[in-house]
Amino acid sequence: MEQQEPQKPPIFGNWRAWYLFTLLVLVVQVVVYYFITENFK
């Protein structure tokens, strides 16, 4: 499937890095929100 995409994505240069970045943003958010929940209850 990746072979059909000749164009490299901007910034990271490959899609795997983009996907990891998106998931990392999610994980960081869940951790931050968890600390907010615990610290302010």
Q: Which residues bind another protein (CB under 8 A)?
A: 1, 4-5, 7, 9-10, 15, 18-19, 21-23, 25-26, 29-30, 33-34, 36-37, 39-41
Minimum distance, C-beta of residue 10 to another protein, in the bound complex (Å): 8
Minimum distance, C-beta of residue 12 to another protein, in the bound complex (Å): 11
Minimum distance, C-beta of residue 13 to another protein, in the bound complex (Å): 12
Residues 6+ apart with CB under 8 A from 6: none
Task: With beta carbons less than 8 A apart as the criterion, state whether 9 and 18 touch.
Answer: yes
Q: What is the dihedral of CA 20, 25, 13, 10, to 10 degrees?
A: 140
